[in-house]
Chain A
């Protein structure tokens, strides 16, 4: 039972963790580092609840070995807010539009939205719906999530000085 020491960069902070090689990134985040914003849903890469960003790209942390995330920038929901008193625009939009019900899918939804808006700052509704094929929500019916992402897109465009 050989433990291994990993050096992970999570939300800009360095972490050292002693763990087993078969542990996934989702398990290490939640159980070893107490970063429980990342959720484990299906464990098969279908539901998107475990979505984190690796070097800015959305991935399923339930299908990523923690060891394979060494040397890469890991962003979890805990790392999005710019300060302890201020939320990220996508987080604010989810609250403002009522896009959260039970909340289990929300961290994955928000991280995927951040990735999508970085690649496509003003997505159409169809692009948003297609872009969320990997994030399941069993509560909201998705409409308010789409509205939140549209609102966040408009705010980010405004902040960037681009016409929305």
Chain B
């Protein structure tokens, strides 16, 4: 028999202002329940303690997945991994995000868990993070004091720590539309199966200009540092260069050098570092192939 959940006061606000009032009132003693797949498990295990649980289920206007060629993609706090991963515009314009959303967990968890929740938990191995980092995603945080927007790269502070105040809700993620000539790739290794937590993640986005050179590059890594992170030195090396195997190898070496992996039950630090090199190179090669007009 599994353990029962600890006792808490449950709130089910029906409007955004009411939700923000509850967050302002209970702050640090409250937890927001979106999909619940991480929160309830951790509360049951005694890792997370909350006197108040605030469900988002009844608040209107939080479950959207919208795409507009000018505005890009917006993902509401309640939008599930399945909603995002299967959305036609996400599949077309953000195939790495679509893939991350569909391979990171079981079908049941995909139906429940949210993209925003995956980010807010602050896990170094959050699968949605590298694909959103390469697309320069931003987050909109709201509280009774108003709204602020920060870049996803600035949101992650450390394992389980993010730039969110206790009274704030991450209302949505905003992802700019990629350039038409961009290509991207998502690479993932997990020890046992696709639904296992990732041991190493890498994502890349390349824009290749008419002269055949790389106009801009993004490379992001997951599960190999205290937070998901971009590899800026590799991006600088790549920008302006010829998209060839030698350059990709050198950039992948920089990614492996900046990684700060740990030993844990899923993999050793040394193996992770080696795999960062392999996955980064594969991501760059595939992104270049897609950017040149290959299959996404």
Report which A residues bind B (CB closer than 8 A).
Answer: 1-2, 4, 20-24, 27, 40, 42-46, 48, 51, 54, 57-60, 62-65, 67-68, 71, 112, 115-116, 130-131, 133-135
Contacts and interface: CB of A to CB of B under 8 A. Distances in A.
Contacts of B149: none
B192 to A, nearest CB: 11
Given A60-B37, A63-B37, A133 B193 contact: yes
Nearest to B195: A133
Contacts of A46: 106
Contacts of B112: 45, 59-60, 63-64
B270 interface: no
Interface string B5-38: 1111110100000000000000000000100110
Nearest to B8: A22
Interface of B: 1-10, 12, 33, 36-37, 40-41, 44, 53, 55, 57-58, 82, 105-109, 111-112, 193-195
Nearest to B2: A43
25 contacts: A21-B8, A21-B9, A21-B10, A22-B7, A43-B3, A43-B41, A44-B44, A45-B41, A45-B108, A45-B109, A45-B112, A54-B111, A57-B82, A58-B107, A60-B37, A63-B41, A64-B112, A65-B53, A67-B10, A67-B12, A112-B108, A116-B107, A133-B194, A134-B108, A134-B195
A54 B36 CA distance: 14
A68 B109 contact: no
Contacts of A60: 37, 108-109, 112
